[in-house]
Amino acid sequence: MQKWAGFHMVVLGLTLTGAAGDLLMSLDPHWYSTMWAVYYFAGCALVSFAVLIITVYLLQRAGYLRSSITTEHYHDLGKYLFGFTFFWGYIAFGQYMLLWYANIPEEIQWFSRHGVTTVSANFTGWCYVMVAILFGQLLIPYAALLTRHTKRVLSVLFFLAIWQLAFHFLDNYWIIMPEFPGKFGASVIITSIAAYAGVGGILLAVLVRTLAGRSLLPVADPRLDVSLAFQNF
């Protein structure tokens, strides 16, 4: 795994960048941002650690990994969740700040139609969504995860992971739906949730099928004893 990890990191970078451009940035062919791929990656990394926390928590509630994964490991996962919450916010602000500072029409029109500068009644609703994302995906979880205590209370960390998943969904919704004015409604929300559930269900089915009959611990890893005895200071 270590031998191939470097190669696959390059593959991930190329495919993730391509997906971010082809699926999302291309919705507005006149808009572009050199930071868009990093913004998309930051959101993906944030959600990855949120899903990992949720998965481990549910596995322990089902009776698995109770003697191997401790509060110390949750503490470390909380650090990652906190770190990528801040990183996502940093990239989001950096992208907005650079576009605002340059004030190039081809670039700022994307934020304009997303509710930042326009006064049109058709788009004012997106301003509230942007404020909700600002507080929900950055400021509130940043403040909550800043303390050591929050990272070591499993139920609170589990709640914050679900919280981040929900607001990342809202972030994606805000990225996509302003490009389709007049189609903001319950049917679109239900369809979006169904799409997430469908793709997620396939991935979950493959994961469960792969793990069936196998140990959840890497029993052949020579560093297993060190990782199990890990402690935060």
Structure tokens belonging to residue 179:
């490009």
Tell me how many degrees the CA angle 125-176-199 measures, rounded to the nearest 5: 125
Structure tokens belonging to residue 117:
């500068």
Which residue ranges make up each domain of the chain?
25-181, 184-214
Our measurement of the distance from residue 3's CA atom to the centroid of its chain's CA atoms, rounded to an integer in Å, reads 27
pLDDT in tens, 78-125: 999 999 999 999 999 999 898 888 888 777 777 776 555 444 444 456
Structure tokens belonging to residue 168:
């990342």
pLDDT in tens, 21-79: 999 999 888 888 889 999 999 999 999 999 999 999 999 999 888 888 999 999 999 99
Query: Considering the entire predicted model, what is its pTM?
Result: 0.86
Structure tokens belonging to residue 219:
């029993």
What residues contact 94, with CB distance under 8 A and at least 6 apart?
35
